[in-house]
Structure 1
Amino acid sequence: MTWDWEFAWEALPVVLDGLLVTFQATVLGSIVAYALGLVFALMRRSPIRVVSTATWLLIEFIRSTPLLVQLFFLFFVLPGFGVTLSPLVAGVIGLGLHYACYTAEVYRAGIEGVPPGQWEAATALSLPRSRTWSGIILPQAIPRVLPALGNYTISMFKETPLLFAIGLPDIVGEAFEFASLNFRYVEPITIAGILFLLLSYPSSLIVRYLERRFGLTH
């Protein structure tokens, strides 16, 4: 099958519409993942054993089940319990919760990487616990984990096509729908793939720069 430039130009605006939805899901999902991941990391360090154990079990359960199954549960199963979510909301919650369980471990590693002397100094100065975390520990831990968080954002971006399974018109969904209507798949799917590459590769270069910037690679 030959490449049809006229059809490709017709498909491009449709695919770009889907790209906006993909960006929206990725950005919102990342915000949820970063915030919730930090909460999970702090709960894992809770002195209350029930809290830390329950958080660990939740993280392991979510990490051990496929993201697609979790999306199906949010979108198709929850309505049976009276909770109905739109495709975008279900997608953002699914992506955010799934990746929060990975970012939680990243945060935990960053926190544990803070020198013990910093904790001892805060204790010696009788700083409140909230001040110790906000003013000493997290400002040192978070820069260490930025490259890893960036990698997870890129992974999330590349997994957004799974949202098409719950009816969200993302970049791949729009490309597939347009291709199905015209019985021609080469151009729309290829354009979607090229856009993924053009966005993912520069992002990976930025992550590598952050790794070098914070001395995480040699």
Structure 2
Amino acid sequence: MEFLNNLWDFEYTGEVLPDLLSGLVVTVQATGIGYALALTLGLFIAVVRRVPFFGALLHFLMEFIRTTPLVIQLVFVFTLAPPDVSAFTIGVIVLGIHYAAYTAEVYRSGIEGVAKGQWEASRALSLPTSRTWTAIVLPQAIRRVIPALGNYLIAMFKDTPLLFAIGVVELLAMAQQVGSKDFRYVETFTMVGFLFLLVSIPSAIVIRRLEKRYVAV
């Protein structure tokens, strides 16, 4: 019992929990804003990529983003950014653009999965291009790719600790700061893992329910 008390201090855990929760708030905010950006920008890229010239240019850019480490992108953009732009803003933007390169491919696969006959039918009915996309193509395409898009939400949430490289004090960075004061890392890092699970597991459950509700329709 004495060994257990030395290994884990419940009183210390209660003291540092508010600080860890503040770091978790930053992590969730960065994930939410970055993911919304990734979904929106990824959809835009997937649609524009069907235009011949812009498609080739965007394909090269997206391949470059996917094949370079996220942490390098964060540091590079942070170094070049104006000093009045906060590290959090830079981190969210880079996260969003980085994952937009992946969500764009997901959207593309969904769009290509729409039956060719439906495209031909919309042209035969002289439907406007905007109407074809919003009423026929995108509703089917997005429904098909909900599971993959949801997986990237979890992946982005787990990548937010990389924001520490540019000075954003998210959950893991907060745990390092708190733990270094008393050199007690067992409690802090264990709580980090628990808090990550506390958010990621319910998110995964929601994604699975959305998959069952929309994909199977």
Q: What is the CA distance between 1:206 and its match in structure 2?
A: 2.6
**Structure-1 residue corresponding to 2:69:** 66
SS at match of 2:114: coil
Equivalence map 1:79-90=2 (5 Å): 79=81, 82=82, 85-90=85-90
Equivalence map 1:1-218=2 (5 Å): 1-46=6-51, 49-76=52-79, 78-79=80-81, 82=82, 85-213=85-213, 214-215=215-216
Q: What is the CA distance between 1:83 and its match in structure 2?
A: 6.6
- The percent identity for this pair of structures is 55
What is the Cα-based RMSD across aligned positions, in Å?
A: 1.5
Change (3 A) 1:139 1:163: same
C-alpha distance in 2, partners of 1:114/1:174? Answer: 46
Query: Which blocks of at least 5 consecutive residues in structure 2 are unaligned?
Result: 1-5
Change (3 A) 1:83 1:116: farther
C-alpha distance in 2, partners of 1:209/1:151? Answer: 13
Query: Which blocks of at least 5 consecutive residues in structure 1 are unaligned?
Result: none
Which region of structure 1 is more displaced relative to structure 2, 82-91 or 136-145?
82-91
Deviation beyond 4 Å, 4+ runs, structure 1: none
Does structure 2 conserve the Cα–Cα contact (< 8 Å) formed by 1:114 and 1:140? yes
C-alpha distance in 2, partners of 1:83/1:45? Answer: 37
**TM-score, length of structure 1 as denominator length:** 0.92
Q: How many equivalent residue pairs?
A: 211
Does structure 2 conserve the Cα–Cα contact (< 8 Å) formed by 1:87 and 1:166? yes
Q: What is the CA distance between 1:119 and its match in structure 2?
A: 0.7
Q: What is the CA distance between 1:64 and its match in structure 2?
A: 0.4
Q: What is the CA distance between 1:84 and its match in structure 2?
A: 5.1
SS at match of 2:7: coil
**TM-score, length of structure 2 as denominator length:** 0.92
